C-alpha cells in the first residue's frame, strides 16, 4: 500500500516538473516597447491540430495588409517562394521580438528568392501601432482579424483562445508547402532552421 | 497522513519552480556591487586597472539594431585612443540569441568587438532579465577584484559624452 502511495507521489512530482518545464517561457524584451508589453505568462505550448501538410498545395487566402493593400498568397505563384510567419498576438513578449529580427535579414530572404508575410489575428489599427515600434518593416504584415482567424483556421493553427500559433510555413514557387514549424508558443523559432529550409528550395 | 505529506511536497516543489521562473529571479546589476558569475557562457575580462563595458543586446531588438552603429563608434573611439585602448574592453552579450543569430548581428552591423551568445537566456536570468539594450560598466581593480560603476537601460546617446562618463565614473586615468 505504501509502495503504491510512493509511486503515485513520484508520478505526481514528475507531472508537475514536466508541465512546468514544458511551459517555461523565455524572452528578452526590447526597450522599444517600454512598459507596453502584456505578459500572458507561460502558455500551453501548442493548442491546435495543424491541418496543412508538407507536400500539399498551400490553402490560398487574401488578407488586408497594414500598408493598405490586399495581399493574396496566389499572387506569388510562379514568382517567389513565400514564408508565412504567424505570431499569436501584438504587444506580447515573444512576438514583439521575432519580426524585428527578420527585419534585418531581408538579404537572406532575397538570396533565396523568398518573400515574408507576417500574419496575426489582430486588427489593422493594433498591428499598425505595434509594428511602428519595430522600425520600418520591409515585409507586409497581414491582419487575419475578420472573419476572425479564418486563415489560421484554414491552416489548422487557431488556438482555442482565438489567437494563432507561433508557426512558420515555407511555400515554394509552385505553391506547395515545403516546411511547417508549429512552434512552442512560448519560444521564438530558430532563424537558422528557417534559413536552412530556404536553402533546400534551390 | 501520506496524502498530506505528498500535498506539502508538491506545493513546495511548485513554489520552488515557480519562484525560480517568475517571482524570485536575480536583480539587475547594482552600481557599487559585483557581477554575478556568468560562466560558462561568459567570463569577465580582467584588464588590470581597467574597465569592461558590457552591452546586453538581442538581434531581435529594434533599439539594439538602431544603437549598433553608435556602439561601433564607441569601440572605434576607444581603439583610436592610445591610452584607453589597453584599458577599456567592450563586449556584447546576445540574450536569447544563438551563435548563428549573434553572427548575423555581427555581420549586419560590421561589429569588431567580441560578442557572446546566450541562446538559452541563462546569462539574461542571472542579470535580472533586463530589457535591451542595457549597458553595464565594470571597473577591474589592480588586485583582480571588480566593482560595477554603471548599470543602465537604453541607448547611451552621445558617444563622446558616454565615453567621458565611463572614464569619470570608473576613475581610470
Count: domains in chain B = 1
Residues found in chain A: 202
Buried-state track B141-153, b at ≥16 Cβ within 10 A, e below 16: eeeeebbbbbbee
Share of chain A above pLDDT 70, in %: 87
Would the CB atoms of A98 and B62 count as touching at under 8 Å? no
Of the given ranges (A90-104, B29-43, B46-60), which has the lowest mean pLDDT? A90-104
Taking the Cβ of residue A17 and every Cβ of chain B, the question of whether any pair is shorter than 8 Å is answered with yes
Q: Is B153 helix (H, G, I), strand (E, B) or coil?
A: strand
HEC secondary structure over B16-81:
HHHHHHHHCCCCCCCCCCCCCCCCCCCCCCCCCCCEEEEEEECCCCHHHHHHHHHHHHHHHHHHHC
Residue B151 β-bridge partners: B136
Task: Collect all residues of chain B within an 8 Å Cβ-Cβ radius of residue A103.
Answer: 62, 65
In whole angstroms, how far apart are CA A150 and each of A69, A85, A147, A185, B38?
Answer: 18, 15, 6, 19, 46
Alpha-carbon distance of B22 to A158, in angstroms, equals 27
Residue B18's pLDDT is 44
Would the CB atoms of A30 and B105 count as touching at under 8 Å? no
Cβ contact B56:B40 at 8 Å: no
Dmax over CA atoms of chain A, in Å, equals 69
By CB atoms closer than 10 A (0-12, 13-18, 19+), residue B173 is: exposed
The per-residue pLDDT for range B155-173, each reduced to its tens digit, is 999 999 999 999 999 999 7
Give me the total of CB pairs closer than 8 Å, taking one residue from chain A and one from chain B.
Answer: 101
Residue B2 inside a domain? The answer is no
Residue A85's pLDDT is 98
The per-residue pLDDT for range A154-188, each reduced to its tens digit, is 999 999 999 999 999 999 999 999 999 999 999 99
Looking at every residue in chain A, the average pLDDT score rounds to 88
Residue B37 inside a domain? The answer is yes
C-alpha cell at A155: 491552416
Mutate to test the interface with A, among B17, B62, B97, B130 (most CBs of A within 10 A): B62
The predicted complex's ipTM stands at: 0.81
Cβ contact A155:A56 at 8 Å: no
Residue B14 inside a domain? The answer is no
Give yes or no for residue A18 having a pLDDT over 70: no
Q: Where do the domains of chain A lie, and which CATH numbers do they carry? A: 2-199 (3.40.30.10)
The per-residue pLDDT for range B90-120, each reduced to its tens digit, is 999 999 999 999 999 999 999 999 999 999 9
Contacts of A42 (CB under 8 A, 6+ apart): A20, A23, A24, A25, A186, B21
Give yes or no for residue B5 having a pLDDT over 60: no
Residue B58 inside a domain? The answer is yes
Domain, as residue range, for B142: 28-170
CATH of the domain at B138: 3.40.30.10
Residue A25's pLDDT is 56
Q: Is B160 helix (H, G, I), strand (E, B) or coil?
A: helix
Kind and range of the H or E element at A15? helix A2-23
Residue B10 inside a domain? The answer is no
Residue B124 inside a domain? The answer is yes
Residue A200: count other Cβ atoms within 10 Å of its Cβ: 11
Cβ contact B87:B133 at 8 Å: no
| Share in percent of chain B as helix, strand, coil (round to 5) | 40, 20, 40
Nearest to A31 among B2, B14, B63 (CB): B63
Would the CB atoms of B61 and A191 count as touching at under 8 Å? no
Residue B88 inside a domain? The answer is yes
Residue A55 to chain B, least CA–CA distance (Å)? 28
Please state the separation of Cα A2 from the chain's center in Å: 48
Alpha-carbon distance of A78 to B151, in angstroms, equals 52
HEC secondary structure over A70-122:
EEEHHHHCCCCEEEEEECCCCCCHHHHCCHHHHCCCHHHHHHCCEEEEEEECC
Residue B9 inside a domain? The answer is no
Instruction: Tell me what the mean pLDDT of segment B115-133 comes to.
Output: 96
Alpha-carbon distance of A55 to A179, in angstroms, equals 9
Amino acid at each position: 500500500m505504501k509502495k503504491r502511495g510512493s509511486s503515485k507521489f513520484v508520478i505526481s512530482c514528475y507531472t508537475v516538473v514536466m508541465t512546468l518545464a514544458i511551459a517555461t517561457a523565455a524572452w528578452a524584451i526590447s526597450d522599444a516597447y517600454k512598459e507596453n508589453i502584456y505578459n500572458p505568462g507561460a502558455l500551453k505550448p501548442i493548442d491546435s491540430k495543424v491541418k496543412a501538410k508538407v507536400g500539399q498545395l498551400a490553402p490560398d487566402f487574401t488578407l488586408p495588409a497594414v500598408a493598405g493593400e490586399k495581399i493574396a498568397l496566389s499572387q506569388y505563384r510562379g514568382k517567389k517562394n513565400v514564408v508565412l510567419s504567424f505570431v499569436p498576438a501584438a504587444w506580447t513578449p515573444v512576438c514583439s521580438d521575432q519580426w524585428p529580427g527578420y527585419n534585418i535579414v531581408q538579404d537572406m530572404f532575397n538570396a533565396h528568392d523568398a518573400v515574408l508575410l507576417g500574419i496575426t489575428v489582430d486588427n489593422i489599427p493594433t498591428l499598425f501601432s505595434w509594428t511602428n515600434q519595430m522600425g520600418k518593416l520591409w515585409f507586409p504584415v497581414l491582419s487575419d482579424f475578420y472573419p476572425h482567424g479564418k486563415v489560421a483556421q484554414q491552416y489548422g493553427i487557431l488556438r482555442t483562445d482565438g489567437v494563432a500559433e507561433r508557426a512558420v510555413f515555407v511555400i515554394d514557387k509552385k505553391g506547395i508547402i515545403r516546411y511547417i514549424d508549429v512552434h512552442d508558443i512560448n519560444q521564438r523559432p530558430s532563424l537558422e532552421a528557417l534559413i536552412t529550409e530556404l536553402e533546400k528550395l534551390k | 497522513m501520506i496524502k498530506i505529506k505528498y500535498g506539502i511536497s508538491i506545493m513546495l516543489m511548485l513554489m520552488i519552480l515557480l519562484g525560480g521562473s517568475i517571482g524570485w529571479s536575480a536583480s539587475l546589476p547594482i552600481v557599487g556591487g559585483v557581477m554575478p558569475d556568468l560562466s560558462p557562457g561568459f567570463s569577465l575580462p580582467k584588464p588590470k586597472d581597467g574597465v569592461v563595458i558590457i552591452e546586453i543586446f538581442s538581434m531581435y531588438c529594434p533599439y539594439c539594431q538602431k544603437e549598433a552603429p553608435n556602439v561601433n563608434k564607441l569601440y572605434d573611439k576607444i581603439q583610436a585612443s592610445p591610452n584607453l585602448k589597453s584599458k577599456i574592453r567592450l563586449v556584447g552579450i546576445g540574450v536569447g540569441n544563438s551563435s548563428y543569430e549573434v553572427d548575423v548581428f555581427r555581420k549586419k552591423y560590421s561589429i569588431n568587438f567580441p560578442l557572446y551568445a546566450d541562446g538559452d537566456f541563462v546569462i539574461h536570468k542571472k542579470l535580472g532579465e533586463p530589457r535591451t539594450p542595457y549597458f553595464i560598466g565594470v571597473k577591474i581593480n589592480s588586485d583582480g577584484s571588480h566593482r560595477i560603476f554603471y548599470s543602465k537601460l537604453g541607448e547611451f546617446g552621445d558617444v563622446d559624452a558616454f565615453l567621458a562618463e565611463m572614464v569619470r565614473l570608473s576613475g581610470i586615468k
